[in-house]
């Protein structure tokens, strides 16, 4: 079975500052890793994913995450956040081979002016 730990329930940050949202996972098999974002009053949507290949993956709106197998981590980073990035971010893990997707408890990113 897989599990995900997001230690930070809330991360407040000022606009244009960098941010890192931490995610650690546990699994006995190879995994796929994901970050989903949930904007206020909207459904979850996929932000980025790691399936294989390059360990650094990027989203279209400037976020990036790096798969670190030795540290079992998949932290999400952005060098300069915007007010519009305010949302809840969920890290998720899936064991390869039709395993179910397991979500972390989420990190609320609060960007203020």
Which residues of the shown chain bind another protein in the complex (CB under 8 A)? Answer: 4, 9, 32, 34, 36, 41-46, 49, 51, 90, 92, 94, 98, 100-101, 103-106
Which one, 37 or 81, has the nearer CB to another protein? Answer: 37
CB-CB contact of 49 with 37 (8 Å): no
Q: Which H/E stretch holds residue 111? A: strand 107-112
Which one, 11 or 44, has the nearer CB to another protein? Answer: 44
In the complex, what is the shortest distance from the CB of residue 41 to another protein, in angstroms, rounded to a whole number?
7
> How remote is the C-alpha of 77 from its chain's centroid?
9
In the complex, what is the shortest distance from the CB of residue 9 to another protein, in angstroms, rounded to a whole number?
7
> How remote is the C-alpha of 29 from its chain's centroid?
20
Q: Which phi and psi angles does 83 have, rounded to 5°? A: -55, -40
Half-sphere exposure of 95 (CA within 13 A, CB side): 9
In the complex, what is the shortest distance from the CB of residue 10 to another protein, in angstroms, rounded to a whole number?
10
Which one, 24 or 106, has the nearer CB to another protein? Answer: 106
């Amino acid at each position: 079975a897989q599990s995900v730990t997001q230690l930070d329930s809330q991360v407040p940050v000022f606009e244009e500052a960098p941010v890192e949202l931490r995610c650690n996972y546990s699994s006995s098999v190879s995994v796929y890793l994901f970050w989903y974002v949930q904007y206020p009053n909207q459904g979850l949507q996929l932000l980025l994913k790691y399936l294989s290949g390059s360990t650094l993956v990027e989203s279209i709106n400037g976020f990036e995450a790096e798969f670190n197998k030795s540290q079992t981590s998949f932290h999400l980073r952005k060098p300069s956040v915007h007010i519009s990035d305010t949302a809840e971010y969920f890290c998720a893990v899936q064991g390869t081979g039709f395993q179910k997707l397991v979500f972390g408890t989420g990190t609320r990113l609060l960007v203020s002016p």
